[in-house]
Every structure is written in structure tokens, then in C-alpha cells.
Amino acid sequence: MTSSTPAAGRGKRPPHGDPVLDRGLALLAAFDREHQRLSLLELVRRSGIPKSSAARLAGRLTAWGALERDADGRYCIGLRLLQVASLAPRGQGLRETALPFMRDLAGAVHQHVLLVVRDGEQGVLVDRISSHRALSPLYHPGDRLPLHSTGAGLVLLAHAPVQVQEALLAQDLVQQPEHIPVRADVLRRTLAGVRRNQLATLRRGEPVPMVTVAAPVTAQGGSVVAALSVVVPQRHADVRRIGGAVRTAARGISRVLAERGHAG
Amino acid sequence: MTSSTPAAGRGKRPPHGDPVLDRGLALLAAFDREHQRLSLLELVRRSGIPKSSAARLAGRLTAWGALERDADGRYCIGLRLLQVASLAPRGQGLRETALPFMRDLAGAVHQHVLLVVRDGEQGVLVDRISSHRALSPLYHPGDRLPLHSTGAGLVLLAHAPVQVQEALLAQDLVQQPEHIPVRADVLRRTLAGVRRNQLATLRRGEPVPMVTVAAPVTAQGGSVVAALSVVVPQRHADVRRIGGAVRTAARGISRVLAERGHAG
């Protein structure tokens, strides 16, 4: 079967990846927040996989439940993946422990409460609690977010291995969504401050003036496994009070993680 | 590459499935709530895939982020799947709309609030909000649950296509976790009552006496896309009051779904 695919025909040695599995994963990767429902032709265009192969693999993914088809025949991500993803220890396990504390915090601050973990040089939003009247959020659960320009990201970056920090500091970093260049020496000082205070504070001007206050969540042994942050409008924000609340909730999550033997 | 697998060797015609993709998916399916971290040998044993193939495919899945390896080298479900799963319209889209209403409800009932969708003849728990002092829950987000022996399931089954109802009614059904047989004629009457009242009430004796009250969530056009339920201890439970609260919250979610053009 694989002999009909261009990738398999390139050489005599087996290719580095697995063409079929990689193609199946590429079909899943064709979906994003702005493209949650795709026709077969859109899948073909966005994944670069030939139509016959895409149709066959999408059929297998649908049979398994990784994809579903809606009433119009378009493909979308299926519930089976939700079930499998719920077994990610760095996602659901952490989330179940954190959510009651996040709700306590949300009740006190009435805006956004975020739980973020680091994946390489990016953060992943594990969950967010937003009040009814909260301003429209920048990130949705599952989204990747930049470490250097989010409050939770600064906490995670400050506690990341040195090679991750250096790799990021070597890049041309830009504060999003304002497009302001970030100087490496300034970021180094910021990270040192975050480690010293065990708290990151980040102000952003767009889309509206907001302030983020974030604190580290640790696992058994003290390693930082997540960051908890609160995002509120700058107007009327009492950063000192919010900092105390975020730190207290983060400590509560860390305590329960340690009790449950969560090793990160 | 596929010629070395038993499935591909069975006949001259291409096999019905795709051996490589199906094997990759079988590796993901080897994980469950009780087996969140698996060594390569455990993966081999639980998936039935030969070791060399399992090692190669697990490597591809890890490179993509569907799997991760912990400090002990064991595999677990990776964050990338959390990100992809967050794009499931029947999961995350619904969840984002429902959560503020679920929190309102949780604030009023102080136990468990569940959001469930139907997938074939089973329910899938999209999310649950539980208070700090709630009793230990039977189901976790992403879990599958039986339609005939959960409150939310009864709502979904009552509004399922007739062929789904008949397929389930033809089986030997047992009320879980008490192992009480469910008679088809009794279940038919229950479902008729659920459609009439737009509310399901289910009492269970184990592990402690609890009562579930569930109401349908509809999308644009009126089709039932989910069920919202509240689980509280039978002692002191005011089912009439809870029913009103659940129905109100379910209507709120349905209203917002219709406003947002969520077609189910």
C-alpha cells in the first residue's frame, strides 16, 4: 500500500518517519481554531496529502473516532480524541487537582484564571476559567502561547532548563499582540525577578489594557510543573492583592499535587 | 514496510483497514484511566502489536507529540493530543458555552455538575464541575458512560434516533454500579416520561445513595446535543428545586448555542 505513495518511492532505505502514520497525524494537524470543520478537499489542501490517500486515511480515523463527519459531510475532530487526551497526565491529572482552586480564585477576581504548562519553548493552556462578564480571551484551552509574552509563560520560562531559556533568548522576540521587540537583557532581568518573587506581573496594552499576575505550581520534589495566572483589566487592578490570591491558590494546588504524589 | 506485518500478509487485496495507521491508533487506545503510563513492554502487551513495530510507531507518535515519555522512559498521552482534542466541536465548543452556566449551577448545588454528549450507544462526559467537598465521582471528563443507567444518559437516549434506542433496548441492560437488571418495558416508560417532562431523575444506591437530575441541551433547530445533570446525595435532596435549577441552566446553554449558530 505504501509503495503507491511518493514518500515511500524516494529511496531504497525505509524513510526516517513512517509515511502512513505521519500522514494520518498530518490530517489531524490540518485542523485549528479557525478551521474546525474541513471538507475532504480542504483536508487535502491543508495537509498536502494526495486525495486518494487522504480519503482512505480520513476514513480510518473516522472509523476509530479520531475524526467525525457532520451533517454536511465535513470532517471535524472526534470525541474519541477528547477521551484519549483526557489521559494526558500533564493535562487532565493536573487540571482535576487545579480546578477547585481555580474556581475559588475566579470567584474572587471575576475575570480570567489560566492554568498553563510548558511544552518545549511554548506554553500550552490546559484550562481557563472565565466569568460571564469577562473580556474576550486571547487564548483557548489547548492553545499554544508564547513563553516570553504571557505572565504564565514568564513563570514557566524562569523555571525552565537553561538550554530552553538560552534557545529562546537567542531569538528575535516580540511582545504579542502589541508587536513590541523584547530585549534579551531586559528579559533576563525579568526572569531573575520572577524567580526571586515567585510571581510574574505582565501588563499589556492591547486589545485593552490588562494585567496578568502569575505564580508557579510545583510537584512533589519542588519542580515547577505549571503556572497559574489571573488576567484582569488594568483599571482598578490591585496587583498586590491579586498576587497574594494567585500565590495562595498556586500553593494549594502544589500541596495537593505533592499529597497525591504527582511527580510532574 | 507493511509487508512485514501479519495483517498485510493475509491476502492479495489491500486489507480493509490500514495496518500502520490502525496500529498507531491501537497504541493510543492502550492507555486508560488505570494505565496512564506504560513501558514499551506494557504497550506491546496491551496493544498486541509486535515490539519492533510498537517501538517504531511509538517513536513517531512521540516525535509528533501524541505521546510523551516521562523521567522513567514510560510513555504517556502527550499534550499535543490535548491541543487537537480541544478542536472537537462536540467537546470544547459546547464546553466553552456551557461552563459559565455549569459554574452557576455548581454554586447552587455544591456537588457534581456534568455535561454529557451521546456518541453512538454511549455517553461521553465532556466536563464535570465538582465542589471541594463533593463525594468521589463515578466518571471523569472524557470517560464513556452507559446511557441507560445515568441521568444524563437517559435524557440523551430519550432523544436519540429510534434505531439507537431499539439497539440498546434489545440488549441485556444492567443498572450500574448496583448490577440491577433493567427491564426493556420499564426503560421504555422511563424514556417516555423523560420526553414528557424534559427532565430525567435517577436514584442510585451505591456507593452512597445519590440522586441525579438531568435536562436536555438543544442546539439551533431544537435538536438535543447534550445533557446537563446534577448529582447530589439523596439525603436532603430537594429534587423539585434542583430540577428547576438544572432546567434553567440547560435552557441558558441552549439559548447561547442558538445565538452562536451551534448546529450540533
Is the per-residue pLDDT at B17 higher than 80? no
Q: DSSP of chain B, one letter per residue?
A: -GGGSHHHHS-SSPPSS-HHHHHHHHHHHT-BTTBSSB-HHHHHHHH---HHHHHHHHHHHHHHTSEEE-TTS-EEE-HHHHHHHTT-IIIIIHHHHHHHHHHHHHHHHSSEEEEEEEETTEEEEEEEEE-TTPPPPS--TT-EEESTTSHHHHHHHHTS-HHHHHHHHTS-EEETTTTEEE-HHHHHHHHHHHHHHT-EEEEE-SSS-EEEEEEEEE-TTS-EEEEEEEEEESTT--HHHHHHHHHHHHHHHHHHHHHTT---
Q: Do B20 and A18 touch (CB under 8 A)?
A: yes
Whether chain B has a CB inside 8 Å of the CB on A110: the answer is no
The gap between the terminal CA atoms of chain A, to the nearest Å, is: 41
Residue B263 with chain A: CB contacts under 8 Å: 70-71
Q: Do A88 and B82 touch (CB under 8 A)?
A: yes
The gap between the terminal CA atoms of chain B, to the nearest Å, is: 41
> Domains of chain A: which residue ranges?
2-84, 89-259
Q: DSSP of B173-220, one letter per residue?
A: EEETTTTEEE-HHHHHHHHHHHHHHT-EEEEE-SSS-EEEEEEEEE-T
pLDDT digits (tens, 9 = 90+) for B167-181: 999 998 988 777 888
Tens digit of pLDDT at every position of chain A (264 positions): 333 334 333 333 444 556 889 999 999 999 998 899 999 999 999 999 999 999 999 999 999 999 999 888 999 999 889 889 888 888 777 888 898 899 888 877 778 999 999 998 999 999 888 876 677 777 888 888 999 999 999 999 999 999 999 999 999 898 877 788 889 999 999 999 999 999 999 998 877 888 999 999 998 888 999 999 999 888 878 888 899 999 999 999 999 888 876 655
Q: Do B85 and A92 touch (CB under 8 A)?
A: no
Mean pLDDT of chain B: 86
Distances (CA, A) of B244 to A162, B60, B127, B214, B230: 55, 51, 21, 10, 11
Q: Strand A173-175 to strand A67-69: parallel, antiparallel, or no bridges (unpaired)?
A: unpaired
Whether chain A has a CB inside 8 Å of the CB on B133: the answer is no
Class of domain A89-259 (CATH, top level): alpha beta
User: Average of pLDDT values for B37-59?
Assistant: 95
Is the per-residue pLDDT at B3 higher than 80? no
Q: What is the pLDDT confidence band of residue B11, given thresholds at 50, 70 and 90?
A: very low
Q: Do A87 and B124 touch (CB under 8 A)?
A: no
Q: Do B77 and A64 touch (CB under 8 A)?
A: no
| Chain A closest-CA separation from residue B190 CA (Å) | 27
Whether chain A has a CB inside 8 Å of the CB on B55: the answer is no
Distances (CA, A) of A32 to A35, A144, A146, B25, B90: 5, 11, 17, 21, 15
pTM: 0.75
pLDDT value of position A2:
35
Q: Do B90 and A68 touch (CB under 8 A)?
A: yes
pLDDT value of position A262:
64
Q: Enumerate residues 23 to 52 of chain B having a beta carbon within 8 A of any beta carbon in chain A.
A: 24-25, 28-29, 31-33, 36-37
Span of A44-48, A201-205, B109-113, B133-137 with lowest mean pLDDT = B133-137
Of the partner residues A63, A84, A263, the one whose CB lies closest to the CB of residue B77: A84
Whether chain A has a CB inside 8 Å of the CB on B103: the answer is yes
Residue A132, Cβ density class (10 Å: 0-12 exposed, 13-18 middle, ≥19 buried): exposed
Q: Compute and round to an integer the Cα radius of gyration of chain A.
A: 21
Class of domain B2-84 (CATH, top level): mainly alpha
| Chain B closest-CA separation from residue A148 CA (Å) | 20
B159: left (phi > 0), else alpha (psi -120 to 50), else beta? alpha
- Residue B115 in contact with residue B102, Cβ under 8 Å? yes
| Chain A closest-CA separation from residue B94 CA (Å) | 12
Is the per-residue pLDDT at B137 higher than 70? yes
Omega of the bond leading into A181 within 30 degrees of 0 (cis)? no
Q: Do B81 and A63 touch (CB under 8 A)?
A: no
In whole angstroms, give the CA distance from residue B228 to residue B249: 8
- Residue A151 in contact with residue A229, Cβ under 8 Å? yes
Q: Do B142 and A37 touch (CB under 8 A)?
A: no
Residue identified by cell 470517560 is: B143
